[in-house]
Amino acid sequence: MSGILNTRIAGLTLEHPVLNASGILGSDPEHIDILASHGFSAIVTKTFTLNPREGYNPPILVELRSGGFLNAIGLANPGIQGIKPLVDRAKLLGKPIIISISGNSIEEFTKIAEVAEDSGASAVELNLSCPHVKGLGLELGSDPFTVFLVAREVSSILKIPVIVKLGLSDRIIESAGKALEAGARALTLINTIRALAIDIYSFKPILSNIYGGLSGPPIKPIALRVVYDVYREHRAEIIGCGGISNWTDAAEFILAGARAIQVGSAFLKNRKVVYEILEGIKKWMNVLGYSSVESLVGRSHV
Ligand SMILES: Cc1cc2nc3c(=O)[nH]c(=O)nc-3n(C[C@H](O)[C@H](O)[C@H](O)COP(=O)(O)O)c2cc1C
């Protein structure tokens, strides 16, 4: 594999920098086929917990007039027995697969991570950032010491790379630093942002869970700022995520410091988005006279 879009992230060599974001398909083997056939260079699964979770009652997803989505799925997933079939399918297709995991305790994180590694996963992504599930998620990721403990325990038992996914918090630069100190090879920045939508006729919050996670174009400038700040502080390997909908968004994230990007909401609306991003990035690099996308990473920092 050699080409101008080749990217290395967390020790994985990828054909190009565009991955899917966790939760955008990625819980059934058939989803892996869909994601692979739409051009993603590696597959990120839905977040897995130890035991199956039903998730919340509908409504769980609202499309907003601002162009974004608000979701509170409640981390519905089939539990650890669902991991191996996904890995097997990705292997069959020759795609690296990153298993997203979450837990109620450090022990749960380590158990699921071991199952992922034993199943043959390429890497794990620790979801320390779900903004709408109590006890699992943002409560963990916004405390730098907890981030350190979880990332250290998981990193110490795995041979495959550990990626830590963080959400927006006042201490995100510190949490990022702690994740790296604990052994994380890369950071995914950022998850959805806790938000609300109200039905003006029923007077009630639209989502059954009341709060949801905001994604899509409204969060792009915030995610970009976080990537910029974390790269400036830590010069880390970063997977940028949040509102990336086209090649100019992707280019901004690369210049801010992202070695790879994840696309979530935009794929729900446009199934050609990966190819459009790759075409645009290639043309942009040609115009600028660059022959390696990696040489553009972090170039907005003077
Ligand atoms: C329907 C939906 C489900 C999601 N599920 C997960 C999940 O299981 N785990 C996770 O880490 N992030 C999850 N996310 C967050 C995305 O991975 C991503 O961080 C976020 O949507 C921002 O990217 P985007 O603006 O490109 O969608 C979900 C997002 C959406 C819209």
Give the H/E segment covering residue 115.
Answer: helix 106-119
For the chain, domains (ranges, CATH) are 7-54+72-192+219-296 (3.20.20.70)
Could you identify the atom of ligand 1 that is nearest to the CA of residue 190?
A: 19
pLDDT value of position 178: 97
Single-letter code of the amino acid located at 278: L
On whether the CB atoms of residues 71 and 192 are closer than 8 A, the answer is yes
What value does the CA radius of gyration of the chain take, rounded to a whole number of Å?
18
100 φ, ψ (degrees, to nearest 5): -85, 130
pLDDT value of position 41: 98
- pLDDT tens, per residue, the chain with 302 residues: 569 999 999 999 999 999 999 999 888 999 999 999 999 999 999 999 999 999 899 999 999 998 999 999 888 899 999 999 999 999 999 999 999 999 989 999 999 999 999 999 999 999 998 666 666 566 677 899 999 999 999 999 999 999 999 999 999 999 999 999 999 999 999 999 999 999 999 999 999 999 999 999 999 999 999 999 999 999 999 999 999 999 999 999 999 999 999 999 999 999 999 999 999 999 999 999 999 999 999 999 97
pLDDT value of position 133: 61
Could you identify the atom of ligand 1 that is nearest to the CA of residue 215?
A: 25
Please identify which of the residues 130, 184, 230, 281 carries the catalytic annotation: 130
On whether the CB atoms of residues 128 and 164 are closer than 8 A, the answer is yes
Q: In the structure, which protein residues have their CB atom closer than 6 angstroms to any atom of ligand 1?
A: 21-23, 46-47, 61, 69, 71, 73, 75, 100, 127, 165, 191-192, 215-216, 219, 241-244, 263-266
Catalytic residue at 241? Answer: no
